[in-house]
């Protein structure tokens, strides 16, 4: 399975370097020299890329790929999603840490077992993580904190939500 590890923001300079918005907790591994990844272009096509250099710059990574040698080629990659394989991820040792892809698709249910929806994605914001739950009546944003999400059972395919009054009423 592939997961998004970055998004090409723009070309940087004239030699094909790319400014990449990082979407992984392990950029040092994902963007290491020699790392291979799939690029999913805005037109839906894909191509393979190999990292030849990466360095931090202004909150992003500046990345060079063997297959991108000019600014014109780099410009054509603007908006491209960079995908890495979940097979490359090390196992998490902490029972309270999860990869986003492990949570996506889990059934969301209340403490009493009532199913309320499905986890669509995890939003990482400055105030913390939010679970986006798809419900019959739209989406609900649930703070991903132990007080509100006391149980995450990846093997059982569910997360248990204990929402404060009104959290799920806004839809």
Work out the pLDDT band at 171, boundaries 50, 70, 90. Answer: very low
Cα 54–60–61 angle (5° rounding)? Answer: 5
- Across the range 122-140, mean pLDDT stands at 87
**Sign for the pseudo-dihedral over CA of 157, 160, 166, 167:** negative
Identify the structural domains of the chain with CATH numbers, from first to last.
2-88 (2.40.30.60), 100-161 (2.30.30.240)
What tokens were used for 21? 């918005």
With helix as H, strand as E and coil as C, how does the chain read? CEEEEEEEEEEECCCCEEEEEECCCCHHHHCCCCCEEEEECCCCCEEEEEEEEEEEECCEEEEEECCCCCHHHHHHCCCCEEEEEHHHCCCCCCCCCCCHHHHCCCEEEECCCCEEEEEEEEEEECCEEEEEEEECCEEEEEECCCCCCCEEECCCCEEEECCCCCCCCCC
Mean pLDDT over the full length of the chain:
90
Rounded Cα–Cα distance for residues 100 and 132 (Å): 11
pLDDT at 83 (0 to 100): 92
Q: Which residue has the higher pLDDT, 80 or 127?
A: 80
Q: Tens of pLDDT along 137-149?
A: 889 999 999 999 9
pLDDT at 99 (0 to 100): 75
What does the chain come to in residues? 171
Q: What is the largest CA-CA distance in the chain?
A: 59
**Exposed, middle or buried by CB within 10 Å (0-12, 13-18, 19+), for 120?**
middle
Q: Which residue has the higher pLDDT, 29 or 71?
A: 71
Work out the pLDDT band at 97, boundaries 50, 70, 90. Answer: confident
**Exposed, middle or buried by CB within 10 Å (0-12, 13-18, 19+), for 95?**
exposed
What tokens were used for 67? 């297959």
């Amino acid at each position: 399975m592939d997961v998004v590890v970055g998004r090409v923001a723009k070309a940087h300079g004239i030699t094909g370097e790319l400014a990449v918005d990082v979407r992984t907790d392990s950029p040092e591994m994902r963007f290491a020299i020699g790392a291979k990844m799939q690029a999913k272009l805005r037109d839906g096509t894909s191509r393979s890329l190999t990292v030849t250099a990466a360095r931090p710059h202004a909150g992003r990574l500046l990345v060079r790929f063997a297959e991108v040698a000019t600014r014109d080629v780099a410009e054509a990659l603007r908006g491209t999603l960079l995908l890495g394989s979940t097979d490359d991820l090390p196992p998490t040792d902490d029972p309270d840490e999860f990869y986003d892809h492990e949570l996506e698709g889990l059934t969301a249910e209340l403490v009493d077992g009532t199913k309320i929806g499905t986890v669509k994605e995890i939003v990482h914001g400055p105030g913390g993580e939010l679970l986006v739950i798809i419900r019959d009546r739209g989406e609900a944003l649930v703070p991903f904190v132990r007080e509100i999400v006391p149980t995450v059972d990846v093997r059982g395919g569910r997360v248990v939500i204990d929402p404060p009054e009104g959290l799920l009423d806004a839809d």
